Structure 1
């Protein structure tokens, strides 16, 4: 690429102002087009020197590459630089090309705003800036480009509303308009109706909202062939009148909020070949007029509220290749005439209320590659002929099908990739032919009633990644060659009647990351070969007959996230790794003798028997030696039994003596302890009784910390408060109820604490509760009081009417209008408020109050969606905070535990809360859970976001329900979250620093500059 000196570029820019340039004393006038193109080039980065032929010394650019000129006057008429990886801004210079008709810069890396001065190119007919990184608004001056016929600004980062006047002058000129794939917002630009010659209109994948006004706007564009308004926020009705678009070939409205009936005259667009109205809120029945669409090849009405019977006339649409009615409420049966759809390749009717048999005639749809009929009420057997065509995916799950799995054909063996027959009542043998499916990668036969064995041929799979046969009444042993292919990632055999040992060959499953063999009758020891599964993340072996000790080698599995070995016959020590040493009781209980402080049973070790030395074991070697009296020692029985005791006898006698002494000591100690406990209990009862009488500390009475008077809660009134109907949540420390407080009309939250490990002395309980009550902050749930008896402890706290962040993020109905998705501003305020609350706990108290359990269910929202951190500092009322307690509590918050919590030497500090807060940010921004289990993978959220950030695609993980957000805020917030979730605690910021960073991110850039 030829470089231009700054002096030359300056001269050229001056030339743009004065219209002429004298390079030397020859007074040669440089051509305006040369001048404009050289200035345009000077602002670009051309990594492949595509524009090397552009020379400022030439008098004309007509010989340059990618330039076309008018042969009569020599002026530039076309500039085409598509796909050259050019970057920089589209600066000044191009406006000099007054004869330019075609300007195409698509598929490059241009950034910055579109210059309004491009509107000076009044002869421009074709403008294509698609697939770049342009930002800002679309200039309103474009309305002056009256000759424009083709305008494509798609796949950029343009934002803001489209000017109401932009299409005022398009008249009969504009024929192609695409603004798709941007961040444009505001009302649908209804002035586009003035572009009466439009035949292609694409405004998809933006944030346009409101009612587009079809009847008074779009329906007037009678020359339209393609209309794409998909993936916006448009709403309202689509009235009758679409038939006036007589030339329409493609009609895309999916991913909006349209409601009402489908337009009844949709079938009177004779040239329509693509119709997608999916993912809206359409109701009513499917219009009968659809059957007139003889050339329609693509039809999707999925995920609406359509009801009525399945259309029996569907076979009239003989050109259909793609049909999707899934996610509606269609009833009735499938017609035999479906066989007339000879060209059908994709059929999805899942999630309806269809009944009856699967018609055998479907086997005549010989082009079919995907059939999805799951979640209906279909009965009967699977037609054998269906497995004779070249299907790639077959999903009949969650129906009421019976019979056996039909054998496949050679054609199916070569094509099938996904087979899901789960949730039916299939019986018989699993065909051995399944091992011949060379491309099969997903096989789910779970929740059936086969009552047969798993054929050894399952090991023949070459590409299988998921094998799920849970709860299918399978018997026999697990085939040793089940993992011969090495590609299996998920193996789920739970809830069957498998017997015998876990095969040693399980170690060949090198790709396995989920292994679940629970609820079977497996016996024998756990094979050491499991330690070869380096990718394993989840191991479930509970409810079997496994025995022996766990192989210590399992401690080398660094990727394990969850393990359950409960209810087996296991004994001995757990492997020395963080995951095993921090298992909770529910993952270990029900074994014979696992060594863990969480279990009450004995700890049994398989240690070698003691070595017994018999002094006469070598008698044959010493037998030739005679005693002084001439007799042989080996024959002297009196010497053998009376002069010496064997080593084994000595050991046995010593052990018996030690045990006897130990039993005696323990008996005496127990008696002493029982007397002491009785004395303490009597003293405590006496103290509580006198305290109650004196009023110093109430036992069995509600104590409010912010008022002198407290209403009396008797057992009768407590029963009315702590009932199931009033329950609003449950956490690690107890159940939460919503209750009125006395007759004051106040609503409070009552937490009924679990009594295990809670402070058992009222003075201690009172003291710690009062410390927590001092933690007053707008972003902390305030503690109002408590109720204490030896059998029942309650905490009274502020009530948050909008519930928890957990419910808002993950439990909101997909189409709920009463609780729309959280906006970015609300999410940011929740993050900032939560950070402020945690910072107050960390920095306003000495020692700091550590939360230990940051997660969305502990972030409550008031009526204005202001966040309030709850459950903070409750560890203070626990008698002993140990690794088991923390591990137990984090089981319900998978992914939020800081990695240092798994260490042997447990050092809990504020950095653990910072880690949890970082995960909270990721969950708020992405709308995803910290750990998600898919059909063939496990997603760890912080790892997922970190990878996307490294790839430069981090914004792909943003919650899709959040239709608009400022990238300049989202990106640094995600980076902050990754810093907070650093594996090294010292690398994480303090919560005070987090608050400062968030405030800087939210502050507008100009104000930030002024501050400096």
Structure 2
């Protein structure tokens, strides 16, 4: 009995100690789990220094929150800590964790399925990391408590797991900005508690399944930038609580669902960049909560209904790039909160309504429409004057004078009135626009001098006044605009000398004054030390090394002796007068000779111009037509008549031959000629290239044979050659008209809100490669690869143009090529400079490599800085060597690109631009590599 009592007593004494020992591991599980987790990380900013393994609890550690009663960790929030490494299993020791948020770090590896072992987890946020691989099915096998999951902005691939639908309490799902693929399962709509569903910017495809109305709690849905086809969900209007809808950037078709009229709470609606059709619905006025409406880049048609005025909450409207017609309804006045209105690239007509300047708009764009008549700025309300930041009337049929009170818009930052028919002078009130950064009044009929008040536009970085009828000198006033980067005064009638102070403009990258009447010596210093000759051509009286025309020397004045030294007829005075007469005679002869030389030059140029105009007139009046697929010749071959051959029997010109080369229809000029736009009889436009290299054409037979050969080349990524015109003094090549302009325009001249997406840039690179590969199969070397020779068609696809010059102009040699293709500086392969190296297709590959880098970076191949010249190829190669490639990608993309594609494409561009031709791949190999890069399941090892 005594023994038993002692045992019981011992147990009673030891029980608290045993109990404490048994509980100790449980209390230290959180510390142990977090310390092991930290050990596998790289903490570059030492954010986790407070995590010490000797601590009894983790509750005082940064990023950690505990339950105050149990001291168990309930929240781990390490967002933006710059941590890297893997998310291991050790975190599963935190069995009371309710919130795990590790976003905006650099975690890599796969999503660990062990994260499903948190029995109480409500929020899981692993967004904005470098996680890869598939989303494991096991992640959602124990998820009844899970309400929020975000895996956005990673590199995840594969399908959306079916097991996700078992998380019946989910309220927010964000898998955006990954590489998820496959079709959506209709089971997804069973998540009836979901409020936010974001699957945007993936590779999801197929039709959007029916049954979306089951998501009766849905507040926001985004399927933006995927590959969905078919129709918009017809019953989406039954999701009555929806506030945000975004289906933009897919391949959806059909009209807007009628059920949408029930979305009275919807504030944001974006279906841009699809293939939707139909008219702007009257019932849109029932969606009275709308603040943002974007229907741009579709095929909508018809008029804008008056009911749009019911949308008083509207702040931004984008209807651009559709087929809307008619005038703008006055009911827009009711949209009193409207800030941004973009109606560009439609078929709107009529006068610009006055209400535009009565609303407090910040941005108004009606570019590329059919508005006509004059523009009147009635004295607008003070609010409107102070609010308007961007105004774009370009490419319409507006006429009259530019309103003199345009200076009222004192905060205007962007003003584009180009490509209209404005007349009169540039108003002096323009000087009141001291916030304006971009001013474009080009392609009008403006006259008079550039106003000196322009000096007050202190923010100007881009000043474009080309293709007008401006006269007078380049105003010295612009030399005070220290922010100027881009100036284009070309194709005017400006005269006088260059202001020397222009060399003080340290940010200047372009100063084009070609085809004016300027004279004297070009400035020396700053940008003008490296100004390209193409920027000053067409000014015959300019001199300097750039134009290869030396300036007249300044001779010293002749010596004049003292007239009082003697009066003798045969004395010193007579001798001095005789000497003076000799000296003056020599000076006079020099002056007279120079004058005669200049006069002869002027007369010669005038005679040549008259001869050229007469030849063109004779040629135009003598056009004879020929058609048919067999390229049948014209019957009229007299020397005084031209021969026009079209490769299609149904081709005929609507306007008549005399209007083929109308200057008003000029699209641009290059080293080998000018390009004009005209129309066939059915209204189909064509582009006509007038070659200005007649001396390089051997004879008519050679020319016709080669252009017919080129005309047989057919490829979706090549500009089609549709015919030609021949006289001994004039040769024209008739090409397919490509409506969206050059890649150069889209890369370097586009507006800030209208840039090429990453997907579009990759498509342009691949399409251009396919076009070049086709040329090389036909033994055609392009010779002149550059962004201005890559044209973009209406569907956004690239077409390679201006090819076959070596075949059309057999007199080309390397010197002529290098002098003619001045605008291709930076694209030209180094073998052009070496006479002993054969020119092959590899010179096109070099230019294509530079083009790749230009597309990815948004920078020109060669950029001139104040004290340096930056060669794009060298800059990118240096960044790659230092691991900074991501910094080179065009900042307009703002991180909206796939770095896994970008780095291999950069490497491919550098390989193509190798200095050694044999190191460059051929274009077929380039295509294969690009297709491997585009496919996420393939390896990129060959570019390592």
- Aligned pairs for 1:446-525 (under 5 A) are 446=418, 451-470=423-442, 472-525=444-497
Counterpart position of 1:113: 110
- Aligned pairs for 1:225-624 (under 5 A) are 225-356=219-350, 360=354, 365=359, 367-377=360-370, 399-402=371-374, 404-408=376-380, 410-422=382-394, 423-428=396-401, 430-431=403-404, 433-435=405-407, 437-446=409-418, 451-470=423-442, 472-547=444-519, 549-551=520-522, 553=524, 557-558=528-529, 560-561=531-532, 563-568=534-539, 570=541, 574-577=543-546, 580-581=547-548, 606-608=552-554, 617-623=561-567
Cα distance in 1, alignment partners of residues 393 and 631 from structure 2: 60
Cα distance in 2, alignment partners of residues 833 and 725 from structure 1: 21
The answer to whether structure 1 residue 881 and structure 2 residue 878 are counterparts is: no
Cα distance in 1, alignment partners of residues 77 and 760 from structure 2: 44
Give the 3 Å change call, closer, same or farther, for CA 225–495 of structure 1 in structure 2. closer
What's the offset of the Cα at 1:93? 0.3
DSSP 3-state at the match of 2:374: coil
What's the offset of the Cα at 1:914? 6.6
Cα distance in 2, alignment partners of residues 636 and 67 from structure 1: 108
The answer to whether structure 1 residue 953 and structure 2 residue 886 are counterparts is: yes
Give the 3 Å change call, closer, same or farther, for CA 46–731 of structure 1 in structure 2. closer
The answer to whether structure 1 residue 97 and structure 2 residue 94 are counterparts is: yes
Cα distance in 2, alignment partners of residues 189 and 948 from structure 1: 43
Deviations 1:765-802 (A, max 9, x none): xxxxxxxxxxxxxxxxxxxxxx9679987795896542
DSSP 3-state at the match of 2:36: helix
Pairwise CA RMSD: 5.6
Instruction: Answer yes or no: is the 8 Å Cα contact 1:468–1:493 preserved in 2.
Output: yes
Deviations 1:355-391 (A, max 9, x none): 45555566665x54444444444xxxxxxxxxxxxxx
Task: Give 5+ residue unaligned stretches, structure 1.
Answer: 1-24, 378-398, 582-593, 596-604, 624-630, 660-710, 736-751, 761-786, 815-819, 842-848, 933-938, 982-987
Counterpart position of 2:828: 897
Deviations 1:496-527 (A, max 9, x none): 44433323334333333333334444333333
Give the 3 Å change call, closer, same or farther, for CA 477–978 of structure 1 in structure 2. same
- Aligned pairs for 1:923-934 (under 5 A) are none
Cα distance in 2, alignment partners of residues 444 and 859 from structure 1: 25
What's the offset of the Cα at 1:95? 1.9
Deviations 1:194-245 (A, max 9, x none): 32221221111222111011x23x2222221222212221111125322321
Instruction: Answer yes or no: is the 8 Å Cα contact 1:487–1:509 preserved in 2.
Output: yes
Deviations 1:830-862 (A, max 9, x none): 869979999999xxxxxxx998544589999xx
What's the offset of the Cα at 1:42? 0.7
Deviations 1:423-474 (A, max 9, x none): 454535742x544654332233445666544344434543322223335544
Counterpart position of 2:135: 138
Q: Which of the residues 195, 200, 203 maps onto 2:199?
A: 203
Cα distance in 2, alignment partners of residues 652 and 285 from structure 1: 79
Q: Which of the residues 45, 55, 74 maps onto 2:52?
A: 55
Instruction: Answer yes or no: is the 8 Å Cα contact 1:143–1:165 preserved in 2.
Output: no
What's the offset of the Cα at 1:971? 0.7
Instruction: Answer yes or no: is the 8 Å Cα contact 1:534–1:557 preserved in 2.
Output: no
Deviations 1:979-1011 (A, max 9, x none): 766xxxxxx442333339979996999999999
What's the offset of the Cα at 1:37? 1.5
Counterpart position of 2:681: none
Instruction: Answer yes or no: is the 8 Å Cα contact 2:150–2:175 preserved in 1.
Output: yes
Instruction: Answer yes or no: is the 8 Å Cα contact 1:167–1:194 preserved in 2.
Output: no
What's the offset of the Cα at 1:545? 3.7
Q: Which of the residues 637, 640, 645 maps onto 1:723?
A: 645
User: Mean Cα displacement is larger for which, 514-523 or 304-313?
Assistant: 514-523
Give the 3 Å change call, closer, same or farther, for CA 564–197 of structure 1 in structure 2. closer
User: Mean Cα displacement is larger for which, 481-490 or 31-40?
Assistant: 481-490
Instruction: Answer yes or no: is the 8 Å Cα contact 2:113–2:138 preserved in 1.
Output: yes
Give the 3 Å change call, closer, same or farther, for CA 940–459 of structure 1 in structure 2. farther
User: Mean Cα displacement is larger for which, 294-303 or 105-114?
Assistant: 294-303
Cα distance in 2, alignment partners of residues 202 and 108 from structure 1: 21
The answer to whether structure 1 residue 81 and structure 2 residue 84 are counterparts is: no
What's the offset of the Cα at 1:653? 13
DSSP 3-state at the match of 1:110: strand
Cα distance in 1, alignment partners of residues 937 and 423 from structure 2: 68
What's the offset of the Cα at 1:266? 0.9
Cα distance in 2, alignment partners of residues 355 and 825 from structure 1: 34
User: Mean Cα displacement is larger for which, 263-272 or 477-486?
Assistant: 477-486
What's the offset of the Cα at 1:714? 9.1
What's the offset of the Cα at 1:252? 1.8
DSSP 3-state at the match of 1:50: coil
What's the offset of the Cα at 1:251? 1.9
Instruction: Answer yes or no: is the 8 Å Cα contact 1:122–1:144 preserved in 2.
Output: no
Give the 3 Å change call, closer, same or farther, for CA 125–635 of structure 1 in structure 2. closer
User: Mean Cα displacement is larger for which, 136-145 or 867-876?
Assistant: 867-876
Cα distance in 2, alignment partners of residues 712 and 322 from structure 1: 53
Cα distance in 2, alignment partners of residues 472 and 425 from structure 1: 10
Instruction: Answer yes or no: is the 8 Å Cα contact 2:713–2:720 preserved in 1.
Output: no
User: Mean Cα displacement is larger for which, 261-270 or 27-36?
Assistant: 27-36
Give the 3 Å change call, closer, same or farther, for CA 126–788 of structure 1 in structure 2. same
The answer to whether structure 1 residue 161 and structure 2 residue 158 are counterparts is: yes
What's the offset of the Cα at 1:181? 2.0
Deviations 1:865-908 (A, max 9, x none): 9x9999799499955735344221455x565236997x9x9998
DSSP 3-state at the match of 2:194: coil
What's the offset of the Cα at 1:734? 11
Cα distance in 1, alignment partners of residues 671 and 572 from structure 2: 73
User: Mean Cα displacement is larger for which, 136-145 or 277-286?
Assistant: 277-286
Give the 3 Å change call, closer, same or farther, for CA 74–263 of structure 1 in structure 2. same
Instruction: Answer yes or no: is the 8 Å Cα contact 1:249–1:274 preserved in 2.
Output: yes
Q: Which of the residues 188, 194, 212 maps onto 1:192?
A: 188
Give the 3 Å change call, closer, same or farther, for CA 715–978 of structure 1 in structure 2. same
Instruction: Answer yes or no: is the 8 Å Cα contact 2:248–2:272 preserved in 1.
Output: yes
DSSP 3-state at the match of 2:309: helix
DSSP 3-state at the match of 2:564: helix
DSSP 3-state at the match of 1:482: helix
Counterpart position of 2:178: 182
Cα distance in 2, alignment partners of residues 526 and 653 from structure 1: 28
Counterpart position of 1:672: none
What's the offset of the Cα at 1:127? 0.8
Instruction: Answer yes or no: is the 8 Å Cα contact 2:487–2:512 preserved in 1.
Output: yes
What's the offset of the Cα at 1:112? 2.1
Cα distance in 2, alignment partners of residues 104 and 790 from structure 1: 70
What's the offset of the Cα at 1:115? 0.9
The answer to whether structure 1 residue 994 and structure 2 residue 920 are counterparts is: yes
Cα distance in 1, alignment partners of residues 631 and 296 from structure 2: 57
Counterpart position of 1:682: none
- Aligned pairs for 1:780-799 (under 5 A) are none
Give the 3 Å change call, closer, same or farther, for CA 722–754 of structure 1 in structure 2. farther
